[in-house]
């Protein structure tokens, strides 16, 4: 890998990935294509914006002209595709945006990448990689006692978000099967860590708790997710780029499966410890049950034996250490938080999503 195109690199996982590979591979050159939607944030990349090995292009993966120009202008040997609409609750409010970005955008990217790849010299063709970053949500929901999702679990997406990601996975797969396009798909569980947009459970709970606002728990709070610290995900992606087989899919997960309520209580305890002067201690008093997410998946769990065996990857962080780092990061970055919270579209989203649930405002 020398010249890598990253889509969606101004978002949560993409920006962590850029930092991670700049730190771990000293000769890589990165082009970050991002349309800076509500969750794209150049503050995530401030510290590297002037590096010679990094440059940013504002552009939309759905724009045929822009993507065509990109592949005409640069000679990439690797594409890592993060750009997407990523929030399940927003997909319930506005599914068409998810079809446009996640399905049409991925189709447009693939089409142009294929044309580019077909014109490469045989040696370059052989080493080119297109890594599509996807989610465990394509597999649907598990009941208690069901075995975890493996790479051969049939797709059964339950939200418009999950369905749009499933469609994009199918498109990537079809390009490998039909054109032998050197694609790899990863399906990862819930990430958490620095730079996560505060609409997702963990940053939302941290920030509401610091501010003494209610901590909204959907339904009974007994839903289960498999939590992975974001830099462990980034390391897995890097190793898959270097050791993974084209045409394969790899599940990535953290082997951490607390119920939502337990994870919220854990965050509250960390804040009780880190903020002994807070008037809101114990922070768990702020927990408030609110009406459930429609179609809410009950449980996710990942069988990660394939990536462990074939790639040699395992997560380094456990939930306790990862949550402590994450809470500290949000406490240490009030300016980053404020820049998001003061935006009218963030306030508007909080109202749309929570006012109908009767929470988030006191």
Q: Which residues of 305-340 are buried (b: 16+ CB within 10 A; e: fewer)?
A: ebbeeebebebebebeebbbebbebbbeeeebbeeb
Give the shortest CB-60-to-ligand NAD separation in angstroms. Answer: 4
Distance CA 112, CA 62 (A): 11
> What are the beta bridge partners of residue 252?
188
Is residue 184 within 8 Å of 248, Cβ to Cβ? yes
Determine, following the binding rule CB under 6 A, whether residue 250 of this chain makes contact with ligand NAD.
no
Task: Tell me the closest approach of the beta carbon of residue 134 to ligand DAU, in angstroms.
Answer: 8
191: contact with ligand NAD by CB under 6 A: yes
Angle, nearest 10°, between helix axes 106-118 and 64-73?
30
Q: Which of the choices ligand NAD, ligand DAU, none does residue 101 contact, using the CB cut-off of 5 to 8 A by kind?
A: ligand NAD
Distance CA 36, CA 42 (A): 8
Alpha helices in the chain (DSSP H): 12-24, 64-73, 88-93, 95-98, 106-118, 122-127, 160-179, 201-211, 230-243, 260-274, 305-306, 319-332, 334-341, 344-355
Q: Comparing C-alpha atoms, which of 265, 269, 192 is closest to residue 225?
A: 192
Min CB(158)–ligand NAD separation in Å: 15
Taking alpha carbons only, the member of 317, 321, 311, 189 closest to residue 253 is 189
**Which does residue 302 bind out of ligand NAD, ligand DAU, none, counting CB within 5 to 8 angstroms by kind?**
none
**Does 165 participate in binding ligand NAD (rule CB under 6 A)?**
yes
Integer Cα distance of 161 and 165 in angstroms: 6
Least Å from the CB of residue 200 to ligand DAU? 4
Other C-beta atoms closer than 10 Å to the C-beta of 211 total: 12
Interface residues with ligand DAU (CB under 6 A) are: 86-88, 135-137, 189-190, 200-201, 204, 216-218, 223, 225, 260, 293, 300
* Residue numbers 18-57 binding ligand NAD by CB under 6 A: 34-37, 39-40
Give how many residues touch ligand NAD by CB under 6 A: 30
Position 326 contacts ligand NAD (CB under 6 A): no
| Residue 175 touching ligand NAD (CB under 6 A) | no
107 contact choice in ligand NAD, ligand DAU, none (CB below 5 to 8 Å, kind-dependent): none
Report the residue number whose CB is nearest to ligand NAD.
Answer: 11
What tokens appear for 320 in the block?
């306790």
Q: Interface mask (CB under 6 A) for ligand NAD, residues 116-155, using x and -?
A: -----------------xxx--------------------
Report, in Å, the least distance between residue 212 CB and ligand NAD: 26
Contact between 209 and ligand NAD by CB under 6 A: the answer reads no
Distance CA(153)–CA(114), nearest Å, equals: 28
Q: Is 161 a catalytic residue?
A: yes
- Per the residue annotation, which of 136, 199, 226, 317 is the catalytic one? 136
Please tell me which residue in 34, 35, 85, 137 is annotated as part of the active site. Answer: 137
Which residue in 35, 54, 161, 199 is the catalytic one?
Answer: 161
Nearer to ligand NAD, 78 or 284 (CB): 78
User: What is the spatial order of strands in the sheet that 183-188 belongs to?
Assistant: 54-58, 29-34, 3-7, 78-81, 129-135, 183-188, 249-252
Closest residue to bound ligand DAU by CB: 135
Number of Cβ within a 10 Å radius of residue 152: 8
Binding partner at 204 among ligand DAU, ligand NAD, none, C-beta below 5 to 8 Å by kind: ligand DAU
Nearer to ligand NAD, 14 or 221 (CB): 14
Catalytic residues: 136-137, 161
- Would you tell me which residues interact with ligand NAD (CB under 6 A)? 7-8, 10-14, 34-37, 39-40, 60-62, 82-84, 86, 101, 105, 133-135, 165, 188, 190-191, 197
């Amino acid at each position: 890998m020398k010249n890598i195109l990253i889509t969606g690199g101004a978002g949560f996982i993409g920006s962590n990935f850029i930092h991670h590979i700049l730190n771990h591979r000293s000769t890589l050159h990165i082009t970050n294509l991002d349309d800076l939607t509500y969750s794209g944030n150049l503050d995530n990349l401030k510290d590297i914006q002037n590096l010679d090995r990094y440059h940013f292009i504002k552009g939309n993966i759905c724009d045929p002209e822009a993507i065509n120009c990109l592949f005409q202008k640069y000679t990439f040997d690797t594409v890592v595709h993060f750009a997407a609409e990523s929030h399940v609750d927003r997909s319930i409010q506005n599914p068409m945006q998810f079809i446009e970005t996640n399905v049409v955008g991925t189709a447009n990217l693939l089409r142009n990448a294929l044309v580019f790849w077909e014109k490469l010299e045989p040696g370059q063709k052989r080493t080119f990689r297109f890594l599509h970053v996807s989610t465990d949500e394509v597999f649907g929901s598990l009941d208690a006692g069901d075995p975890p999702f493996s790479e051969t679990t049939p797709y059964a997406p339950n939200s418009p978000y999950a369905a749009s990601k499933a469609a994009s996975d199918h498109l990537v797969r079809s390009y490998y099967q039909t054109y032998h396009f050197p694609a790899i798909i990863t399906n990862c569980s819930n990430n958490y860590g620095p730079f996560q947009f505060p609409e997702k459970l963990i940053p939302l709970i941290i920030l509401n708790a610091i501010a003494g606002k209610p901590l909204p728990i959907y339904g009974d709070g007994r839903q289960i997710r498999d939590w992975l610290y974001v830099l462990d995900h980034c390391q897995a992606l890097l190793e898959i780029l270097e050791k993974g087989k084209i045409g394969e899919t790899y599940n990535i997960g953290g082997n951490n499966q607390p119920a939502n309520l337990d994870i919220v209580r854990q965050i509250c305890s960390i804040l009780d410890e880190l903020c002994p002067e807070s008037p809101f201690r114990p922070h768990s008093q702020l927990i408030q049950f609110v009406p459930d997410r429609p179609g809410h998946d009950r449980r996710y769990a990942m069988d990660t034996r394939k990536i462990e065996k074939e790639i040699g990857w395992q997560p380094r962080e456990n939930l306790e250490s990862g949550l402590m780092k994450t809470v500290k990061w949000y406490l240490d970055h009030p300016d980053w938080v404020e820049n998001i919270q003061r935006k009218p579209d963030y306030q508007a989203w909080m109202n749309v999503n929570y006012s109908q649930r009767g929470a988030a405002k006191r």
